[in-house]
Amino acid sequence: MHEYSIVSALIEQCEQHARANQATKITRVDIKLGVMSGVEPTLLETAFETFKLDGICREATLCMTLQPLVIKCLDCHQESVLAERSIVCPACNSYRTQVLDGEDMLLMQLEMEQEDER
């Protein structure tokens, strides 16, 4: 299950951002997950809940926005937003399409906190 290695890299990226911002805790991790990213959302969430326990993300909530597939047809020039994993133009049935969005997993935002020094 490659979701474990993806989550490991995600948590490492979160830790780098926390260090750069002198944060001691991450409370929320927002990601955008494309339908063509090859990542299964439920498995990713399970992996995150498992791996977050030992680090700075232990109290973090993972918030996923699922990005539909956005394609542009090179024949009829129609841009289409598709919920399914298909690269066929729904307007003209052409396979000559370009994917504009929906293939990536991106870290969009982090909510971080700093411990009070009393």
The full DSSP string for 35-61 is: TTSS--HHHHHHHHHHHGGGSTTTTPE
Q: 68 or 118, which is more confident?
A: 68
Taking domain 3-112, whether its CATH number is 3.30.2320.80 is answered by yes
Q: Which positions make up the binding site?
A: 2, 73, 76, 89, 92
Cβ-based burial of 22 (10 A; exposed 0-12, middle 13-18, buried ≥19):
exposed
**SS3 (DSSP) at 74:** coil
Contacts of residue 42, Cβ cutoff 8 Å, sequence gap at least 6: none
Q: Which positions make up the binding site for Ni(2+)?
A: 2
| pLDDT computed for residue 27 by the predictor | 96
- Mean pLDDT computed over 74-86: 93
Q: Which positions make up the binding site for Zn(2+)?
A: 73, 76, 89, 92
The mean pLDDT value of the chain amounts to: 92
Q: Provide φ and ψ at 76, rounded to 5°.
A: -100, -5
Q: pLDDT tens, 14-28?
A: 999 999 999 999 999
